[in-house]
Each structure stands twice: as C-alpha cells, then as structure tokens.
Structure 1
Amino acid sequence: MDFSTTKPVNPKILKNIIFDFGGVIINIDYRLTARAFEKLGVDNFENLFSQKAQSHLFDKLETGKIALPDFRNELRDIINLNLSDEQIDAGWNAMLLDYPKHRLDFLRNIQQHYRTFLLSNTNQIHKDCYYRSLHNEHSFNNLDVLFEKLYFSHEVGLRKPDPAIYKLVLDQNRLKPEETLFIDDSLQNLATPQSLGIQVYHLANGEDIVDFAKNTLNFTGIE
C-alpha cells in the first residue's frame, strides 16, 4: 500500500493513540545486531532478521511460541556456531539503544489528553534488556506508568501485522477505530490497521514522535 496517498491524521476526532516501541519510543538500530553477529562469525545475519523481514525462528520468539533455551539452540544450529547464551543475547540486544528523556516526558504529558497504549513486536530477551536500561537510565521499573495498557507480542501470542493483534487492543479497551491512531516506524505494520479503520502514521526518516505530536496533533503540552 502506498501510504503517501492515505488520508492525513484527523486530530479533531482522535481520542486514543497506540504507539509502537522500537524506533518510536526507544532508539533502535537493527544494523548493530547484524554487525555484532558478523563479528562473532555469522555471515549474512540480515537474511535471518531485519526491520522488514525475519525468519520463522524469530517469529516464534516474538510470539512466545519457543522457550529461550530452545531459541538459542535452534539459532546455533542455523548459524552452525557454538556461541554461548551470553554471546547470543548480547548480539541480539545490540540493536537496543537509549530512551531520550524528552520522549518519556512527552508520554507522561500526552496521557492526560489521550488514552495511550503500547503495541510492540518484541521478546523476553529484549524486554529484560530494555527494562534494565529504563531503570538504569531513568529509574523506571517498567513502562506501565506511561501507558494505560501494554501489549507485547510474546506475551499475547500475536505479532504485527496480524489483524488479530490490532483487534485485541481495540476490543479489550472498547476503542473506536476512527478515534484511534496507530504510530509505527515499520511501513509493513500499517496497512492492516488502516484496513480496520484505524488512523495510521508512519514515523520515518528520523522523525521524532514529539515533533509529530507538535506538528500534526497540535499538541502543545510538551515541556
């Protein structure tokens, strides 16, 4: 779908915002994980996992359908290297960067004006890592204080762009699609919610979520 021709966001009817996590809230660089595994001797890791596509093994990881020891063992078999658990986890977590403080402040402020939710394709290895970073950098124990409800793919057994995961958020919280905005930095995750009547926005080319809120939502409650 060509998102350059979609309807612009209509802030006048907007009551709910669903945020993606990586690339929207936390900074992320998929290339760093590819480079980390390449340094460990893995060729063409991006054929297994990238922002646009991934192998079935990572689908299972992100939907909670494989235990972490089994994931690591299957990955060892695929790459034909006997890496330690620590090496695998460190390489896998290399893509996760920092939480800019102004985005966390923004999330605190905007939830006074909209119902806000988090919807992320993620996994337990990453969650453990970015929760540690959240605590170390900002003294938060988790993300609950910033959103009404969190939806992590590995915990609900579904991942974007499966229609069921968007419907889950809508149905559980009694959200009207037309009053709801979904923001994601991955284009492939936007066609499905738009087909369900949800407003969508592609946060791309280094755009910051705070700038989007100022420019598109006319949200001025940002310190």
Structure 2
Amino acid sequence: MPTKNIIFDLGGVLLNLDIPKTVQAFEQLGAPEFSKLFGLGRAESFLKAYEVGYINDDEFITDLQQLTGGKSRDEVVHAWNAMLLDFPKERIDLLAELRKKYNLYLFSNTNAIHLSSFAKTFSDTFNGASLDGEFSKAWYSHLIKLRKPDVEAFEFIIKDGGLNPSESVFIDDALVNVEGARKAGLNGIHLEPGKTILDLDWNLS
C-alpha cells in the first residue's frame, strides 16, 4: 500500500546528539563510572524509569546528585543536557517538503528535562516555532509511559494516531527500534551510521 504516514525518531535523526558529552560531563562532576552506569545496572533502571515517567524530575535529579557526590541541581541538569546539540536547518526544511505529501509524526524515547531543553533549542533556532507543530502528533516516552523498542509502544501510537501500519513508515537510527516497529506491523527504515535523513530516498512506495 502507498505510504501516507512517516513517523520520525528525534535524537540522531532530527536532533544531533553527542552522548559522550554527557558521560564526560558526569565524569568531571565526580562520577567516573557514569559510562558503565549509563547502560547497565542501577543507573539504567532509574534512567529507564525516568524515560517512561515512573519517577519525577526531583527523584531523577536526586539520583544524579547521589552519583556525583551531591553536586548542585543546576550542575547535574546541565551535564544531563550536554548530549543535546542542534537541529540542522536543512532537516527541518525537509520536513516542510515532506508535509506536502505525507502526514508526519514524532516518537521519541526522552524525558521531561530533555524535552524542555530541546523544545527551547528548537524555538530559539526557528524564530519561536514549536517542534510539536511540525507534526500531526508527537509522542514522548515519558508522557505515554511506553518506550521503544517495545512492541506495545508502537501498538499504542498506531492506535492513538489512527494509523494503518501498512501505510506508515518509521525511521530511527537505532536498528533495535526499527525492528520493534516492524514487529508491530509498521514499515521500518534504519538510518545507518554516518547517514542523515537527507540521504534517504523519499520516493516512498
């Protein structure tokens, strides 16, 4: 069936990310094991809990402060946001072109602190524009309490958006997320390392 809907990931697809910047920032704040905690064990549990809205900002920040030996709220929030870079104009211009032919959606694994930060970056970069305004609907993991690559998360957005999976394409730079989308019946495009959305063939069947 012809494609009618495109669902974009955010970080690494529309927004440039540099995760090592956050790792380095926490190491400088006195958390030398942050790179390990970031993906494994206890830290993974509270990071994931925050990403699906199970803990609030204050609880998350307290966890980060404990990792850094009690650094200030501002210091740990700044370190947490260090990974968030810029929105290249040409990618946002491409969205405007694609909207002429497709319905555009956004689905991001994120959290309240990051959402506040990148929404401001977008607004500051594009003359007060709203990131969510670029899409028919935007879903953020901490608000829907579901995250990629879980099939249930994709089934939720399909139902909530009233989407026909066979007419919908999901684009992510993480292959595991694309695989999750495919399990839910969506068509998936993996944005491979070194590629941007400007490199894709947008003549979608």
TM-score by length of 1: 0.85
1:1-223 paired onto structure 2 within 5 Å: 13-49=2-38, 55-77=44-66, 79=67, 81-212=69-200, 216-218=201-203
Check the 8 A contact 2:52/2:144 in 1, yes or no.
yes
Segments of structure 2 that go 5 or more residues without pairing to the other structure are: none
Tell me the CA shift for residue 80 of structure 1.
5.3
Q: Which segments of structure 1 move beyond 3 Å, counting only runs of 4 or more?
A: none
Identity of aligned residues (%): 36
User: Counterparts of 2:169 and 2:38 in 1: how far apart (Å)?
Assistant: 27
Check the 8 A contact 1:131/1:141 in 2, yes or no.
no
User: Counterparts of 2:163 and 2:7 in 1: how far apart (Å)?
Assistant: 11
Report the residue type matching 2:60 in the other structure.
F
Report the residue type matching 1:217 in the other structure.
W
User: Counterparts of 2:122 and 2:75 in 1: how far apart (Å)?
Assistant: 22
User: Counterparts of 2:30 and 2:144 in 1: how far apart (Å)?
Assistant: 34
Tell me the CA shift for residue 189 of structure 1.
1.1
CA RMSD of aligned residues (A): 1.6
Check the 8 A contact 1:33/1:92 in 2, yes or no.
yes
Check the 8 A contact 1:135/1:141 in 2, yes or no.
yes
Tell me the CA shift for residue 209 of structure 1.
0.5
Tell me the CA shift for residue 48 of structure 1.
2.3
Tell me the CA shift for residue 174 of structure 1.
2.1
Report the residue type matching 1:116 in the other structure.
L
SS, match of residue 115 in structure 2 = helix
Tell me the CA shift for residue 145 of structure 1.
2.1
**What do the CA deviations read for 1:62-82 (whole angstroms, capped 9, x no partner)?**
1111111111112333x2510
Tell me the CA shift for residue 204 of structure 1.
1.9
Check the 8 A contact 2:3/2:167 in 1, yes or no.
yes
SS, match of residue 18 in structure 1 = strand
**Matching residue of 1:7:** none
Greater displacement, 110-119 / 38-47: 38-47
Check the 8 A contact 2:29/2:68 in 1, yes or no.
no
Tell me the CA shift for residue 144 of structure 1.
2.4
